[in-house]
């Protein structure tokens, strides 16, 4: 019996995975539910909207956190957490006072600033880089289109604008590589209810390749990532995690993988597309909709989801978008169809935000139904 989270070396190894580049492989058996390894964050950043709810340093959720006396915007469990975080918080503390309402770097920029600071203060290999170092991250630089390059240049401009004081920058080319690396290797940390807490770098976790039938999942304990088996793993098996939400059908998943990670998945699920039919449950009508109608409706659903994502700050419009799209999709899709579930879930969120409890409850009950 091995101790949970014990140092690796004999039980897991880095290897060259055919067609996938480097990957992680088991050298021993792991039972379902067993912890393969844990990885402390190389660096992490609490999302702005969770300030005051969670400690900036350890991400613990607590009442009565004490705030930074200078900026009054960062909150901590105690003096120890505040001290431990100062090397990172000082990048933002005085700048937030100076910029006031105009301080608004993206979370990617905030995380990248922390990587630069960490590389300076801690140039040697860290506990989070036993098998893969941050410097070795894949950037897929050659695959960036103009739009992505432009977004990176905006991030670089924001980095210079908001963080000029405490950071030594590499040149522009070096920064482009770093942002590209963060974009494909960064993690978002979620709490138990899957709401977004922040972003982080977990180098050893980033070594794992993707599959839509993963054999492990990554969960978080504060700022520690834990990798646990969700299938039996035999010695010699490659360890696969999922980079994306697996709820959606094959085409959606691969659009997402190509857009963010520049590859198309060839796992069993992507080849057989076995679960797509259940995910795209069609209404049983007297006259079943034509294949073309279904295809059009899928296209519509995907557009509406994208539109919704972009407009997420305009709650009143969203309410309308939800109702209209559910009406329209409901003529072809069953309530258990993933696109219907997605939209109902969003609708519930909007209703909760607008304190329309009755409607929220109505959506909630519909969402739970297919799981009963």
Residues that bind Zn ion (CB under 5 A): 55, 57-58, 60, 68, 70-71, 74, 77, 81, 93, 212, 265, 267, 270
Is the CB of 217 or the CB of 320 nearer to Zn ion? 217
CB of 76 to Zn ion, least distance (A): 6
- Smaller CB separation from Zn ion, 13 or 245: 245
Closest approach, Cβ 232 to Zn ion, in A, equals: 20
Least distance to Zn ion from the beta carbon of 93, Å? 3
Least distance between Zn ion and beta carbon 339 (Å): 19
Q: How far is the CB of 216 from Zn ion (least distance, A)?
A: 15
Nearer to Zn ion, 77 or 351 (CB): 77
Q: Which is nearer to Zn ion, 57 or 341 (CB)?
A: 57
- 3-class DSSP string for the chain: CCCCCCCCCCCEEEEEECCCEEEEEECCCECCCCEEEEEECCEEEECHHHECCECCCCCCECCCCEECCCCCCCEECCHHHHHHHHHHHCCCHHHHHHHHHHCCCCHHHHHHHHHHHHHHHCCCCCCCCCCCCHHHCCCCHHHCCHHHHHHHHHHHHHHHHHHCCCCCCCCHHHHHHHHHHHHHHCEEEECCCCCEEEEEECHHHHCCEECCCCCEEEEEECCEEEEEECCCECCCCECEECCCCCCCCHHHHHHHHHHHHCCCCCCHHHHHCCCHHHHCCECCCCCCCCHHHHHHHHHHHHHHHHHHHHCCCCHHHHHHHHHHHHHHHCCCECCCCHHHHHHHHHHHHHHHHCCCHHHHHHHHHHHHHHHC
Q: How far is the CB of 334 from Zn ion (least distance, A)?
A: 24
Judged by CB, which is closer to Zn ion: 181, or 199?
199
Residue 70 vs 258, nearer CB to Zn ion: 70
């Amino acid at each position: 019996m091995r101790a949970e989270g014990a140092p690796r070396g004999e039980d897991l190894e880095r290897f060259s995975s055919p067609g996938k580049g480097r990957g992680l492989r088991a050298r021993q058996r792991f039972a379902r539910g067993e912890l393969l390894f844990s990885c402390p964050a190389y660096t992490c950043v609490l999302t702005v909207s969770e300030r005051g709810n969670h400690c900036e340093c350890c991400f613990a959720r607590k009442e009565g956190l004490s705030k930074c006396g200078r900026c009054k915007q960062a909150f901590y469990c105690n003096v120890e957490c505040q001290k431990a975080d100062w090397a990172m918080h000082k990048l933002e503390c005085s700048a937030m006072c100076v910029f006031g309402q105009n301080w608004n770097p993206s979370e990617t920029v905030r995380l990248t600033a922390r990587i630069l600071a960490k590389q300076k203060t801690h140039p040697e290999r860290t506990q989070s880089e036993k098998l893969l170092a941050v410097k070795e991250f894949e950037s897929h630089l050659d695959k960036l289109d103009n739009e992505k390059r432009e977004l990176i240049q905006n991030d670089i401009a924001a980095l210079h604008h908001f963080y000029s004081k405490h950071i030594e920058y590499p040149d522009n080319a070096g920064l482009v590589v770093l942002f590209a690396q963060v974009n494909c290797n960064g993690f978002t940390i979620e709490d138990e209810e899957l709401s977004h807490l922040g972003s982080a770098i977990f180098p050893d976790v980033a070594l794992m390749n993707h599959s839509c039938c993963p054999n492990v999942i990554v969960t978080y304990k504060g700022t520690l990532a834990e990798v646990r088996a969700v299938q039996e793993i035999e010695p010699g098996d490659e360890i696969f995690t999922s980079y994306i939400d697996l709820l959606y059908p094959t085409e959606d998943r691969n659009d997402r993988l190509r857009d963010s990670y520049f590859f198309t998945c060839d796992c069993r699920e992507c080849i057989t597309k076995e679960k797509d039919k259940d995910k795209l449950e069609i209404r049983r009508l007297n006259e079943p909709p034509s294949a073309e109608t279904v295809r059009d409706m899928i296209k519509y659903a995907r557009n509406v989801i994208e539109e919704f994502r972009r407009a997420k700050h305009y709650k009143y419009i969203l309410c309308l978008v939800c109702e209209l799209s559910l009406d329209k999709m409901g003529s072809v899709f069953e309530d258990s169809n993933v696109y219907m579930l997605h939209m109902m879930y969003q609708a519930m969120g909007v209703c909760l935000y607008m304190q329309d409890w009755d409607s929220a409850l109505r959506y909630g009950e519909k969402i739970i139904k297919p799981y009963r």
